Amino acid sequence: MPGPRKQSFAKPKNAKGTFRRILKYFKPYRGQLVLVLIGLLASVAANIAGTYMLRPIINEYIIPWIGNENPDFTGLIGQLAVMAAVYTIGILGTFMYNRLMINVSTGTLLKLRLEMFTKMQTLPISYFDGRTHGEIMSTYTNDTDVMREMISQGLPSFISSAVRIVGVFTMMIVLNPILTGIAILMLVIMMLITKTIAGRSGRFFKARQDSVGKVNGYIEEMIEGQKVVKVFCHEQAVNSRFDELNETLRRNTAAASTLASIMGPIMNNLSHVTYAIIAASGGLLGVAGIIDIGTLGAFLQYTRSFSMPVAEISQQANNVLSALAGAERIFALLDEKAEEDEGDIVMVNARVNEKGELEECSERTEIWAWKKPTGELIRVRGDVRFEGVTFSYDGKVDVLKNVSLYAKPGQKIAFVGSTGAGKTTITNLINRFYDIQSGRITYDGIPIRQIKKASLRGSLGMVLQDTHLFTGTVRENIRYGRLDATDEEIVSAAKLANAHYFISHLPEGYDTVLTADGANLSQGQRQLIAIARAAVADPPVLILDEATSSIDTRTESLIEKGMDSLMKDRTVFVIAHRLSTVRNSDAIMVLEHGEIIERGNHDELIKQQGKYYQLYMGMFELS
């Protein structure tokens, strides 16, 4: 196996812009943020005031007691009580702003997740084609988690430290400008070190977030494909690839954590050095009579308070960089171009009035109509036509080449051909999962670009080769085809798909809970439920993409009998490898390399003795 690939590192592209964008999410919490600021200022002010009280305590109470055999503790006790009250206010302020920031952070992330999930529903299929599930999930988990830490802990700590630095610095100048100058010199050294380390660590935090997404994506992919891995004995190869991804994650995490971890010790040791230098300098000034002991004691405590927030800011700089890296990925998802929908024609329920004219109605009548913005109604009949359609997924290789075909209302159109010939692509274009590069597709004479995608797809019932069942009951999974379907309609649809028998023998019947994409059912049973889901939708047009590929021949014949009534008076597109399932089609299209090379019904194609004849007679295999 090749060694780990060299990872390229990148800093956040626009840290300032990303941060400003995060701040916009705080607008609904302006009132709470004001209280947060009050609590934060109270906490910092109490800390500063409490430290300053050391000066009078030392100068006015402790020093006068030196050599006094009977000191009076009354005044000291009073001062200590005041100090305790001040620090209590600080504790309450700290509790208040921390508690409120939890509300702000959880509320902000709630809004972000809702926006992300909502935006995800608007993205085109091509977005998901180019990304693993794990990479997308990492945005919802790791990236939002680091943002939570930054909002709830990082930002308050950062602001608190900054305010404390200003307050402490002011008090230090008041107490002694000379010692303050020494503290500033040490602060400059600490800030230069912080800037150097933070600048280097930023790119590693970004790389770590990217690596986490790749590792999560690979793990999820392997979990879903565990059976395939075992069937082909690829455990070792899978482990090797995971080792490679995991090693990249380890290197990036180690690099980021190393720089982050040395920040604290460096700042801590520098603060000790600063403390020692100021203590020695203060002692000399005290001997010279320039400073009193109480002032020196308070100043030394401020020195410690001054170093701590600087160290905290240094530490939080890493957390902020990590959060900004995650925020960029979140905003990248939110900024993805949504699926375009320029259509303005919608599908509505309709009925025929006494004059024999179509009119819109609210109740379901099994009659549908296309409603134009002008109010004109055109009955939905299922007339679908391709006119010189050329399509490419990547813009380089044409999957369909100048394809023209038509399906008249009520016709059953079948597509046969080898894998990759373009059969499924045709059905994907009908529902506008992708848009064509050239040509035209019409539905009842209307270009499908003029039809709202929700209405277009709502008019199409699809049974895909790869079935997907959601966590929930069998009843809920069938009802997914039409959310207002009654229990009776669900049972009727299941009977039509020949699924009622096996469903009624499940432990809880229609209320049996399915999990893990229906792992407790056979593949054939899962497809039967998918067919029932399409049946309950009762759409004008049906698309069956290998709908019976996982069902045995006997069950398939029973399903076909039930589906004959479902397909009656509906336009049906069928993709099938079993040629026996397409014999009764009105027209069969034979595709090869993205082109229709033969068309006609079964008897006509057999007489031509071309590709279809060879496939039907077993001279070639569909693959």
Tens of pLDDT along 384-410? Answer: 999 999 999 888 889 999 999 999 998
Q: Do residues 282 and 291 make contact, with C-beta atoms less than 8 angstroms apart?
A: yes
Give the Cα separation of 18 and 199 in Å (integer): 17
CB atoms within 10 A of CB 288: 8
Query: What pLDDT is stored for residue 623 in this prediction?
Result: 42
Amino acid at 326: G
| Model pLDDT for residues 302-350, shown as the tens digit of each residue | 887 776 776 677 667 767 777 888 888 899 899 999 888 889 999 999 9
Q: How many CB atoms lie within 10 A of CB 483?
A: 8
The answer to whether 201 and 266 are in contact (CB under 8 A) is no
CATH topology for the 15-334 domain: ABC transporter transmembrane region fold (1.20.1560)
Helix (H) or strand (E) holding 595: strand 595-600
Q: How far apart are CA 159 and CA 179, in angstroms?
A: 25
CATH class, range 384-616: alpha beta
pLDDT at 383 over 60: yes
State residue 409 phi and psi, 5-degree precision.
-55, 130
164-197 burial by CB neighbour count: b if 16+ within 10 A, else e?
Answer: bbebbbebbeebbeebbebbeebbeebeebbeeb
Q: Residue 137: pLDDT above 60? A: yes
HEC letters along 486-533: CHHHHHHHHHHCCCHHHHHCCCCHHHCEECCCCCCCCHHHHHHHHHHH
Domain range list for the chain:
15-334, 346-379, 384-616
* Interatomic CA distance for residues 576 and 590, integer angstroms: 11
Cβ distance 614 to 620 under 8 Å?
Answer: yes
Give the Cα separation of 290 and 281 in Å (integer). 11
User: Is the pLDDT reported for residue 427 higher than 50?
Assistant: yes
Evaluate if residue 7 carries a pLDDT over 60. no
Local structure of residue 141 (DSSP, 8 states): I
- pLDDT tens string 527-547: 888 888 888 888 889 888 876
- Equal CATH topology for 15-334 and 384-616: no
347: three-class secondary structure by DSSP: strand
Do 362 and 349 meet the contact criterion of CB atoms below 8 Å apart? Answer: yes
Q: What is the pTM (predicted TM-score) of this model?
A: 0.70
DSSP-derived letter for residue 448 is: G
